[in-house]
A = this chain, B = another copy of it.
Amino acid sequence: MITLYDIPSKAPGNVWSPNTIKTRMALQHKSLPFKTVWLEYPDIGPTLKGIGAEATSKWEDGSPWYTLPVIQDSTTGKVVADSWKIALYLEDTYADKPTLFPFGVRAPVEFFEAYFTETTIRPGMRIFMSETCYRLNPTSEAFFRRTREAIYKLKIEELAPPGPERDAIWAAVKGGFDKFAPKYASNGDGSLPFFYGETISYADIVVASYLLWVKIVLGPENPEWKEVESWNGGRWVKLIELLKDYKIVDA
């Protein structure tokens, strides 16, 4: 059995993190059963250290920064941190299960993930980070607030309050999606939904995971989310719909 470590929230179903959603979808794509251990932010470091997980980054003071997702696989005894490394681990370890990386190649997806997040997600980070903060349980919220305010050198409330600055951030996000969407068109007749046309891969899981993050932290009825649903001929909401068998959350 695989144990997935994830971060709870006030959102229905707890799940919100784009990176742990990637792993949830990857596990379901490969038909691997798993159970979730929920960790509030202050418990992540001590727990992961205890199970021998690798820190994926460093805080500004040089101390190890433990992040989720992490999986612990009782079949192999392995503990793996970082959504990308987990996807590669699952593909290698469970090679007989449905593939996350069609055609036996991974770099195309790795380039795609980097390009997608840089183009469409990074421009919106001040909105997405503040909305995430508002969705966390109090223990996690305090930890998240303290650490992110140190990084941004701004109060969470100052990151993206309603007004022209937030509108400009949204316009940049929309600009990213507008630039990104037409590049799918060279597959087939242009209507195919996935990175590999008709073939689902981890690339599509990445896109859907970020979209679900935005949907969850804004809330499904939020006007900004409704905007996303209308972008690029509804491509993004269609993608989520096509991946709805991956039961992440009800949001």
Contact = CB atoms under 8 A, between A and B. Distances in A.
Interface of A: 88, 102-112, 114-115, 183-187, 195-197, 199
A105 B183 contact: no
A108 B103 CA distance: 12
Closest 6 CB pairs between A and B? Answer: A106-B186, A115-B115, A107-B187, A108-B108, A110-B183, A103-B103
Given A88-B186, A186-B88, A195 B114 contact: no
Secondary structure class of chain A's binding surface, majority of residues: helix
Nearest to A107: B187
A197 B108 CA distance: 9
Most chain B CB neighbours (cut-off 10 Å) among A112, A184, A186: A186
| Residue picked from A88, A107, A186, most chain B C-beta under 10 Å | A107
Contacts of A197: 104-105, 107
Number of copies: 2
B107 A184 contact: yes
A151 B23 CA distance: 46
B196 A111 contact: no
A113 to B, nearest CB: 9
B115 A196 contact: no
Contacts of A104: 197
Contacts of A111: 111-112, 115, 183, 195
Nearest to A179: B114
Nearest to A190: B107
Given A104-B197, A105-B196, A107-B185, 20 more contacts: A103-B103, A105-B187, A105-B197, A105-B199, A106-B187, A107-B183, A107-B184, A107-B186, A107-B187, A108-B108, A108-B112, A108-B195, A108-B196, A109-B186, A110-B183, A110-B186, A112-B112, A114-B115, A114-B183, A115-B115
B107 A195 contact: yes
A103 B196 contact: yes
A116 B108 CA distance: 12
A114 B185 CA distance: 14
- Most B CB contacts (10 A, CB to CB) among A105, A112, A196 go to A105
8 contacts: A103-B196, A105-B187, A105-B197, A106-B187, A111-B112, A111-B195, A112-B112, A114-B115
